[in-house]
């Protein structure tokens, strides 16, 4: 009889664990969906960050189609201004490609091995 009771308790705990896991999964999926626009792109993206003295920083953030500058200092965050979208997009287009793009990483590994990188 004790084994039957223990079996029922384990089954009940397993059901509760599955329900909690399902709730967590649905909550995370819902949050992800709220932060994304149609097509899977992010609604908010940090474009650039600059550190300042005294644990402060400035962040250029794209929210939808708008670009805003946000200042952070300690526990305080404030929107400072909005940037013209064309100015930011022109600046982003003029930036060099990331040195850690997959092909650059593959080229670096090939050079370390002593072989020629593939073009």
Q: How many CB atoms sit inside 10 A of residue 36's CB?
A: 13
Taking only the tens place, the pLDDT of each residue in 31-52 is: 555 554 444 467 888 888 888 8
3-state SS assignment for residue 75: coil
pLDDT of residue 36: 47
C-alpha span between 62 and 19 (Å, rounded):
37
Q: Quickly count: other Cβ atoms within 10 Å of residue 78's Cβ.
A: 9
How many Å apart are CA 52 and CA 58, to the nearest integer?
7
Mean confidence (pLDDT) of the chain = 76
- Between CA 55 and CA 63 the distance in angstroms is 24
């Amino acid at each position: 009889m004790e084994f039957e009771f223990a079996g029922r308790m384990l089954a009940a705990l397993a059901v509760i664990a599955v329900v909690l896991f399902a709730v967590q999964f649905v909550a995370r999926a819902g949050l992800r969906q709220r932060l994304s626009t149609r097509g899977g792109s992010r609604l908010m993206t940090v474009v650039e960050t600059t550190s300042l003295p005294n644990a402060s920083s400035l962040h250029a953030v794209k929210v939808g189609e708008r670009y805003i500058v946000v200042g952070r200092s300690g526990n305080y965050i404030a929107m400072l201004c909005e940037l013209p979208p064309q100015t930011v997009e022109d600046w982003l287009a003029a930036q060099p490609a990331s040195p850690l793009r997959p092909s650059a990483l593959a080229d670096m590994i090939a050079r370390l091995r002593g072989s020629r990188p593939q073009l």
